[in-house]
Amino acid sequence: MAKRVAIVGTGQTFHKSHRPDVNGQELINEAVVKALADANLKMKDIDAIVIGNMDHFEGINYVDCWSVDGSGGTMKPIIKLTTGGTTGCTVAIGGYHLVGSGMFDKVLVIGWEKNSESDTTGAITTAFDPVWDRQVFAGAISGLAAEAQAYIARYGATDRDGARVSVRDRKHAMNNPYAQLRKEVTLEEVLASPMLADPIHLLDVCPRSDGACAVIMASEDTAEKICPKPDWIWATAARHTYSYLGDADFGRLTSMKEGSQELWKKAGIKEPRKEVDVIELYQPYSFGGLIWIEDMGIVGPGEAPRYIWDGNTDMGGELPINPSGGVIATNPIGATGLIRCAEAAMQVMGKAEGRQVPDVNFAFSSGFGGCFWTDMILHGKKKPK
């Protein structure tokens, strides 16, 4: 019935805090041109486009129409998907559904953001309930800080445990020429950086970036003709759990737990820690790198700090996490989830160059939103059964 779907090409911009040299359409175009070149396809080969960003940031609502000069979408079926922080992963899931349906053979998926063009915290605040959530709200960081406090209280973790995750991701970013922040830091530097919202220090969190990413998906009818070793999409899952921020089970990420259980079941994964080879996690702050891998079932509740201190998630470890440097190094919000998807695809395709993990059979990528949503994709080298 449904077609199997593979990623056959990826492209991303060099991400910066500010790209005054290009407008939004031009930024999008950079990623699209690179993805087409990677797949050795022309724009005429593309049957449909899925595009997304978090439209609060640029104040442009009809991004699907507005962007056509850059996206190549003139006179093609094009749809905008926007789900806040999860957008980049949502557009990938949307592309997967379009190709899987059999109605479109090759779909171009685009995520982008120019965070430099507005006030990030102000824009994020407008995504939350005006009556019940906004009075005390302080952008994405306040909810994350409350999550970290609850995790620390529940499991006895420390700010050093969080800092260790940040040290890892910032070190990994040194291998990624596309990353915005490429500077190694020490544990002491993280802990000595300004406290933004207890227990989160400045160096525990992501920057805001300008950047775009594009991914081309093709059905099983043509994928292997376009790309000899495509990245097969094995399964996807999405959980958007929020009504009001105070509904969350702080200290656990319910959306990650329920979504990943669905993902592992769909793909027949019994022991994710042993069967998954690399993870590109939408992890905008360090403590998420502890809490969320427990919710994924990589390790048990409260076990992440030990697992990470032992180097298991470093390059060369049992299960490297964020070889790209992840979100802590680069965060063009609407593109961020799709960059995770593209980086995971590159790992499976063997195209990750200086950040390549050897022999990747399964890779995991995710998207996260400040209202505690999670979207996710399981990527595989073998064609799904």
- 300 is an interface residue for another protein by CB under 8 A: no
What span, in angstroms and rounded, lies between the C-alpha atoms of 46 and 49? 8
* Identity of the residue, 142 or 236, whose beta carbon is nearer to another protein in the bound complex: 142
Q: Which of 149, 175, 193, 222 binds another protein (CB under 8 A)?
A: 149
Q: Is 253 in the site for another protein (CB under 8 A)?
A: no
- Which of 1, 42, 74, 135: binder of another protein (CB under 8 A)? 135
> Taking the alpha carbons of 199, 204, 209, 211 in that order, is the dihedral positive or negative?
negative
Contacting residue, 61, 126, 186, 361, with another protein by CB under 8 A: 126
User: End-to-end distance of the chain based on CA atoms, in angstroms?
Assistant: 13
- Of the candidates 169, 189, 203, 164, which has an alpha carbon nearest to the alpha carbon of residue 327? 169
21 binds another protein (CB under 8 A): no
Q: What secondary structure letter does DSSP report for 357?
A: P
- Show the site string, 40-79: x = touches another protein by CB under 8 A, - = not: -------------------x--------------------
- Closest among 176, 231, 215, 239 to 338, alpha carbons compared: 215
Told to check if 196 binds another protein by CB under 8 A, we report yes
Of the candidates 75, 130, 359, 385, which one interacts with another protein according to CB under 8 A? 130
Q: Is 150 exposed, middle or buried (0-12, 13-18, 19+ CB in 10 A)?
A: middle
One of 139, 207, 337, 369 touching another protein (CB under 8 A): 139
Return the residue of 21, 44, 62, 246 that touches another protein, per CB under 8 A. Answer: 246
CB closer to another protein, 20 vs 268: 20
Which residue type occupies 229? K
The dihedral built from the CA positions of residue 77, 78, 83 and 86, taken in this order, carries a sign that is positive
Given 67, 125, 286, 322, the residue binding another protein (CB under 8 A)? 125
The residue (of 43 and 138) whose beta carbon lies closer to another protein is 138
Query: Beta strands 195-197 and 200-201: pairing type?
Result: antiparallel
Element (DSSP H or E) covering residue 64 = helix 63-66
Query: In angstroms, rounded to a whole number, what is the distance separating the alpha carbons of residues 286 and 203?
Result: 9
Diameter of the chain by CA atoms?
56
Q: Let me know: does 82 contact 52? Beta carbons within 8 Å.
A: yes
Query: Considering only residues 69, 184, 188, 198, which one is a binding residue for another protein as defined by CB under 8 A?
Result: 198
Question: Does 192 contact another protein by CB under 8 A?
Answer: no
Nearest alpha-carbon partner for 147 in 290, 243, 336: 290
Task: With contacts defined by CB under 8 A, name the span among 83-91, 135-143, 226-234, 283-291 that binds another protein.
Answer: 135-143
- Smaller CB separation from another protein, 58 or 231: 58
φ/ψ (deg, to 5) at 112:
-155, 160
Q: Which amino acid is at 86?
A: T
Residues 151-170 interacting with another protein (rule: CB under 8 A): 153
Tell which positions 216-245 bind another protein, by CB under 8 A.
Answer: 243-245
Nearer to another protein, 153 or 192 (CB): 153
Residues that bind another protein (CB under 8 A): 20, 59, 119, 121-123, 125-126, 130-139, 141-142, 145-147, 149-150, 153, 194-198, 200, 243-248, 250-251
